[in-house]
Structure 1
Amino acid sequence: MSERKMVHKITHVTVRDVRFPTSLEQHGSDAMHTDPDYSTAYVVVHTDSGLQGFGFTFTLGKGTEIVVCAVRALAGLVVGKSLQEIVSDFRGFYRLLSSDGQMRWLGPEKGVIHLATAAVLNAVWDLWARAEGKPLWKLLVDMDPKQIVSCVDFRYITDALTEEEALDILVKAQEGKQQREDQMLKEGYPAYTTSCAWIGYSDEQLKQLCTDALKSGWTKFKVKVGADLEDDTRRCRLIRQMIGPDKTLMIDANQRWDVSEAIGWVSSLAEFKPLWIEEPTCPDDILGHAAISKALAPLGIGVATGEQCQNRVMFKQFLQASALQFVQIDSCRLGSVNENLAVLLMAHKFKVPVCPHAGGVGLCELVQHLILFDYICVSGSLSNRMCEYVDHLHEHFTSPVVIHDAHYMPPKDPGYSCEMLESSVKKHQYPEGDVWKQHKNN
């Protein structure tokens, strides 16, 4: 019997707390998260065939141990199931994890329990792609539209997108699909960089990183704002002068402002022609985002959000309320691929471009698969679309992202690009890994 036909029964699930001390050099610093230690709750799904699935969710250090506990609590729902059983009713399996009669009280479908759900499901999707010998994006691209739809839980979103409409979108996108896949393999998916302008970086560092990025072919840049208007004005002016008037600039406040404050602050920065303001206010405030969107529209500035949007239901409301002009999905905040598929399909119906959130540790590795699928099988468009890229911590993965001329090149290795090097995991495991022992002693 070939390995592909094997049942792959899940025997156990392991999870580890893996943290990187990125706060030491202010990597990832923004107006709200001033000292992040990029971290993951790293999950391995083990099977009786020896095949493993790797997955994780992303955190900022403290609290990762809480996600680890939640993963352990969910593991009981997974052990004993076969891969075949799961993927033949993936919607049912998603619902089993997200709607357990007792544990859903801790969410439902939000917070720590949902982050843990994402980590487990990411590992299951990785396992499936490995069993099929395909990178995850290709597993999705090769699926029949009916099979894609069967992975999505439409509960609570049918007033915005029905199963029939989703199927129709996927069937229509079959036309030209092969050409788009060939194009991606050749050119890759357009990316933008956030690595040049973290809020904790000095002006000298900003200039140097910006110069290097321009030399490497980057044309789209994001600047962190929100702590101090005078400082933001200076930094935006500096970046705009360096990149010139024809390149794209975005700004990101990481939820720092109240609604009226956001409108005033961004209006003050309008001279630098930002394409969007990202996370201008509380990520749960749909009507607040709608008010900001309306106020900034005459200035030609869109609103982008989604990296901390809790679930498909909130995305539904953001779209229904015209509260965002750019949808930002996250591969570890939502309930893995299943829930992200729902959001990609809704965004297409509402004609809002998807520009994923990435960065952190491993988010670039994961989300590239989703955005390739979106272009090849859903949107069929690159207009106003790009995927975030941050140049941190890729060296810890067995299949790190490949960026060529500011484009994500489609991954070739089987799986969801989640697997970390065992040596990196051991070294950065918290609190017993060498990096943290050393940290403690300094």
Structure 2
Amino acid sequence: MARGKICSLSVRDVRFPTSRGQHGSDAMHTDPDYSAAYVVIETDATDGLAGHGLTFTLGKGTEVVVCAVEALSVHLIGRELKDIVGNFRGFYRQLTSDGQLRWIGPEKGVIQLATAAVLNAVWDLWAKQEGKDPKQLLSCIDFRYITDALTEEEAYDILKKGKHGQKEREQQMLKQGYPAYTTSCAWLGYTDKQLTELCTQALNEGWTRFKVKVGADLSDDIRRCKLIREMIGPKNLMMLDANQRWDVQEAIEWVTKLAVFEPLWIEEPTSPDDILGHAAISQALAPLGIGVATGEQCHNRVMFKQFLQAKALRYLQIDSCRLGSVNENLAVMMMAKKFQIPVCPHAGGVGLCELVQHLILFDYISVSGSLENRMCEYVDHLHEHFKYPVVIKNASYMVPQESGYSSEMKEDSIRQYQFPNGHIWQELISEDQTMLE
């Protein structure tokens, strides 16, 4: 049984200066500083039990998410963990439906990011204590607004059927891991020399799936895609990611000109909120054998429901910090199963790989039962700052061996990179001031 009263919640603004090396750069986010609002929930348990969670940001604005987390903390302090998880659906709805805070949401934007950070910490706390059966998992999901696509009874049937062959799939994952693809080779701000060196290194390490950032300049995209396709060869997979850069017709025309490089998908071709636009792009590109992938900027389960109903995507990309933590991702994974759309999560950033590995393993072992057209993003940045970093072997995510949500950061890293007073930031601010003088 879950134990411990929650006695405190702390949240810190942790930022890494990745923009200085153009790491993470794409057509819309040209200077990202990978960052996190990092939450620690302390309990009064005698063994010092604590939960760690985060939500991912790109630097500026992290302080706003921190304020939102602090505003939500009143719903946790003084409560017993067993009471929270005993009615997790009710607690989830309490966070997302706060009578006043929901006005600056609801279930989207800063409040949703803050909700993810808090709930990720709760899941880490709970996962360190006990296993979950199907009925417990269903009790975590808020089915409000999605019963026209997935009922609780249908979800339970999916989980029951997922029990068949589960042990064999568990053993398979322990031996082989879950297939991954790399985005680390082809950030938009990288030089051709960097692209060549990183692709060569990735090929030598056994990578066979590569994602390329596109969308800023068509001629440059053609040149870069040609370079990478020639390097990786015709048999390896290439995916494209425009990070919301284009209008609908522009996306169709642009990707049609890149079709010669045989990309598997185009990711976020237009506004992440434009469901019908994605549907039009998906329909137009289908004859070219190019699918549409999206989801990392989907606010909530309702948007995913409509993407699925509108046949607007062929690859569904959940995110461990954009949605309302595991609770909401469970609903989306089961809707994807019902609609027979493969889940290929977004990851990278700060801690996203550490978190999402748990979701993909659950999806394969307990929900989808299939690896067909499935893979998970991997970005080789900042894992050294986590106590239990993700393990990649033979271009696959290996099963984590520690209990919890793999979300605990090293205290020394937090102190050094806390913004703006951490040692690293004080040095960088001082250097910037010197250059301006």
What's the TM-score bracket when you normalise by the shorter of the two chains?
over 0.9
**Of 315, 328, 334, the match for 1:345:** 334
CA distance in 1, matches of 2:137, 2:39: 24
CA distance in 1, matches of 2:238, 2:138: 36
Alignment of 1:361-400 (within 5 A): 361-400=350-389
Instruction: Give the structure 2 partner of residue 36 of structure 1.
Output: 32
Instruction: Give the structure 1 partner of residue 206 of structure 2.
Output: 217
Instruction: Give the structure 1 partner of residue 116 of structure 2.
Output: 118
CA distance in 2, matches of 1:87, 1:77: 13
**Of 84, 88, 91, the match for 1:86:** 84
Deviation at 1:181, TM superposition (A): 0.6
Instruction: Give the structure 2 partner of residue 271 of structure 1.
Output: 260
Please list the CA deviations of residues 327-366 of structure 1 after superposition, one character each: whole Å capped at 9, or x if unmatched: 0000000000000000000000000000000000100000
CA distance in 2, matches of 1:310, 1:295: 25
Contact 2:2 2:81 survives alignment (8 Å): no
**Of 165, 176, 183, the match for 2:165:** 176
Deviation at 1:160, TM superposition (A): 0.3
RMSD, aligned CA = 0.7
CA distance in 1, matches of 2:50, 2:26: 36
Contact 1:51 1:131 survives alignment (8 Å): no
1:74 paired to 2:63: no
CA distance in 2, matches of 1:356, 1:45: 26
One-letter amino acid of the counterpart of residue 31, structure 2: D
Please list the CA deviations of residues 56-76 of structure 1 after superposition, one character each: whole Å capped at 9, or x if unmatched: 000000000000000000000
Instruction: Give the structure 2 partner of residue 102 of structure 1.
Output: 100
CA distance in 1, matches of 2:3, 2:207: 45
Contact 2:13 2:66 survives alignment (8 Å): yes
**Of 421, 434, 438, the match for 2:423:** 434
Contact 1:191 1:407 survives alignment (8 Å): yes
Instruction: Give the structure 1 partner of residue 317 of structure 2.
Output: 328
Deviation at 1:432, TM superposition (A): 0.3
Please list the CA deviations of residues 368-411 of structure 1 after superposition, one character each: whole Å capped at 9, or x if unmatched: 00000000000000000000000000000000000000000010
Instruction: Give the structure 2 partner of residue 196 of structure 1.
Output: 185
Instruction: Give the structure 2 partner of residue 166 of structure 1.
Output: 155
Deviation at 1:7, TM superposition (A): 2.6
Which sections of structure 1, spanning at least 5 residues, go unmatched? Answer: 133-138
What TM-score comes out, normalization by structure 2 length? 0.97
What TM-score comes out, normalization by structure 1 length? 0.96
Give the 4+ runs in structure 1 shifted more than 3 A. Answer: none
One-letter amino acid of the counterpart of residue 252, structure 2: I
Contact 2:364 2:371 survives alignment (8 Å): yes
Instruction: Give the structure 1 partner of residue 63 of structure 2.
Output: 65
Alignment of 1:284-323 (within 5 A): 284-323=273-312
Number of aligned pairs?
Answer: 429
Q: 1:73 to 1:361 in 2, by over 3 A?
A: same
CA distance in 2, matches of 1:144, 1:113: 29
1:412 paired to 2:408: no
Instruction: Give the structure 1 partner of residue 125 of structure 2.
Output: 127
1:226 paired to 2:185: no
CA distance in 2, matches of 1:338, 1:7: 20
CA distance in 2, matches of 1:233, 1:23: 25
Deviation at 1:6, TM superposition (A): 6.6
Deviation at 1:219, TM superposition (A): 0.2
CA distance in 2, matches of 1:52, 1:355: 30
Contact 1:40 1:58 survives alignment (8 Å): yes
Contact 2:2 2:126 survives alignment (8 Å): no
CA distance in 1, matches of 2:313, 2:60: 30
Deviation at 1:129, TM superposition (A): 1.1
CA distance in 1, matches of 2:325, 2:338: 21
